[in-house]
Amino acid sequence: EAGVTQFPSHSVIEKGQTVTLRCDPISGHDNLYWYRRVMGKEIKFLLHFVKESKQDESGMPNNRFLAERTGGTYSTLKVQPAELEDSGVYFCASSQIGTGYYEQYFGPGTRLTVT
């Protein structure tokens, strides 16, 4: 079974440009999460989808970030326009839905560099 995949693995863009990150969760996982790690800092929660609905987007930094999950499968995270402080590694994770805790499986991350 394929794990969580993310594309691209690296992206280098200039300040003011737009970048779209993609996450494909494990098949059948209805929970999808986005996290970000800025260099030297902790991994921070951005938002949580349950199927196609945003369950919690309390961690989104500002309105330059837009996450979508049309059809409840893959998700995209768009940064527009990108700023220098957006540089970091963006992780996606997915888990099953149901009662109790279901382990979050992480993707390899997308390293975003804004110059």
Partner 1 sequence: AQSVSQHNHHVILSEAASLELGCNYSYGGTVNLFWYVQYPGQHLQLLLKYFSGDPLVKGIKGFEAEFIKSKFSFNLRKPSVQWSDTAEYFCAVTRKSGGGADGLTFGKGTHLIIQP
- Binding residues vs partner 1 (CB under 8 A): 3-4, 31, 33, 35, 41-48, 50, 55-56, 59, 91, 93, 95, 97-109
Cβ neighbours around 85 below 10 Å, total = 10
| Residue with Cβ nearer partner 1 (11 or 31) | 31
Q: How far is the CB of 43 from partner 1 (least distance, A)?
A: 4
| Residue with Cβ nearer partner 1 (16 or 61) | 61
Q: How far is the CB of 81 from partner 1 (least distance, A)?
A: 26
Q: How far is the CB of 110 from partner 1 (least distance, A)?
A: 13
Q: Write b or e for each residue in 62-73: b if 16 or more Cβ atoms lie within 10 A of its Cβ, otherwise e.
A: eeebebebeeee
| CB contact at 8 A, 97 and 50 | yes
| Residue with Cβ nearer partner 1 (15 or 43) | 43
Residue 18 identity: T
Q: Tell me how far CA of residue 31 lies from CA of 38, 94, 109, 113, in angstroms.
A: 23, 5, 17, 27
| Residue with Cβ nearer partner 1 (35 or 65) | 35
